[in-house]
Amino acid sequence: MDSLQDKCVLVTGVTGYLGTFCALELARRGCRVRGSVRSLRQLDEFRKSIDPLLSNPGRVQLMCADLTRDDSWDELVRGCDGILHVASPFPDHLVEDRSALIEAARGGTLRVLGKAVDQGVTRVVMTSSLVAMLEGRNAETETLDESVWGLAGVATDAYTQSKILAEQAAWQYVNEGPGRGKVALTTLLPGLLLGPLLSRDFSTSVQVILKLVRREFPGLPALGWNVVDVRDVACAHVDALVNSSAEGKRLACPGEFLWLVDLAKIINTLPQFSDRPLAVRSVPGFLVRLLALFDPQLKLASARLNRYEAVSDSAVVGTLGWSRRPVSTTIADTVASIFDLGLNKK
């Protein structure tokens, strides 16, 4: 696809944080968007948040579909010119049944690719994650690029395992399975997605900023992430859909690597915190590990202590001409939307 004007693109998980911005970017470029939602109960809130931002709300059509079932997917995919497969479970709590979450991600991905082949859709862009590249790797001793795969066997949580296994299944399907020669795949691997919230139904990825704003951290452990703007990642998805040079590639979409203390310091430069800045004090690692013995969620976090994961964006820049906002702008817009929506207090 050289142009998206009047084309029809399916966005799975369209009501999610990234999915919403993908839909907005597609509509801005003149595309007709068909979005999958798990339940009709999501529709009203989604419409309230997205319709005021669209010049023609009728360009975004929503349909119900479940990644774990075949129902409705033929109708969703039929007539589409391309697919952005963004949907994937992203729990905000510990998952007891790992197999169910992993199967929803892996099986859902294969279901979407299978329907693409059935309906003659030849172009799919899939959202993966930097964890599918970094898990179990060491950025300080290894050269990490898109050829590197995370190690699902050492993953400490179900989400990380699901992202690795779902992306591996996708590439196997298009390179060796029924999709070979029938569908061109691109996977994008973003870091921690931040940016403006459009509704009170916010993404799990924004929790770190929300907890800082609400002063829920008694101290700041040595945790860090590649922070990238959700709007820039949405643009990368849409650009990858229309750029033939992206076909068959994994493209990391990292941002700037920031420690938790760096995030707090940036927030303290914002006007919302000029009178009462956040306390910037570190928590020693041994204390985090001690408390993790009694807190399962903290146990997951403790596995990331002192983990430095800076990643180059040279591949996505070279392939798509990708650019990203300054991280200070991303954080400022995230915080502003949190206050606008009244989420700054519990």
pLDDT digits (tens, 9 = 90+) for 146-200: 999 998 887 768 888 999 999 999 999 999 999 999 999 999 999 999 999 998 7
> Do the domain assignments include residue 337?
no
Percentage above 90 pLDDT, the chain: 60
Query: Which domain CATH number covers 39?
Result: 3.40.50.720
Residue-range definition of the domain harbouring residue 99:
8-193+227-255+309-324
> Do the domain assignments include residue 64?
yes
> Do the domain assignments include residue 170?
yes
- 99 pLDDT exceeds 90? no
> Do the domain assignments include residue 108?
yes
> Do the domain assignments include residue 54?
yes
Domain count, the chain: 1
> Do the domain assignments include residue 29?
yes
Q: Is 22 exposed, middle or buried (0-12, 13-18, 19+ CB in 10 A)?
A: buried
> Do the domain assignments include residue 79?
yes
Average pLDDT value for residue range 111-118: 96
pLDDT digits (tens, 9 = 90+) for 209-239: 999 999 988 888 888 999 999 999 999 999 9
Structure tokens, 97: 């049944």
Q: At what angle do helices 260-267 and 327-340 cross, to 10 degrees?
A: 70
> Do the domain assignments include residue 343?
no
pLDDT digits (tens, 9 = 90+) for 36-58: 888 777 777 788 888 888 888 88
Average pLDDT value for residue range 136-144: 77
Q: Is 310 exposed, middle or buried (0-12, 13-18, 19+ CB in 10 A)?
A: middle
Nearest Cα neighbor of 98 from 161, 153, 152 is 161
Rounded to two decimals, the pTM is 0.93
Using the Cα atoms of residue 87, residue 156, residue 289 and residue 308 in order, give the sign of their dihedral.
negative
Could you list the active site residues? 163
Distances (CA, A) of 169 to 108, 112, 177, 187, 345: 10, 12, 10, 12, 41
pLDDT digits (tens, 9 = 90+) for 63-83: 888 888 888 899 999 999 999
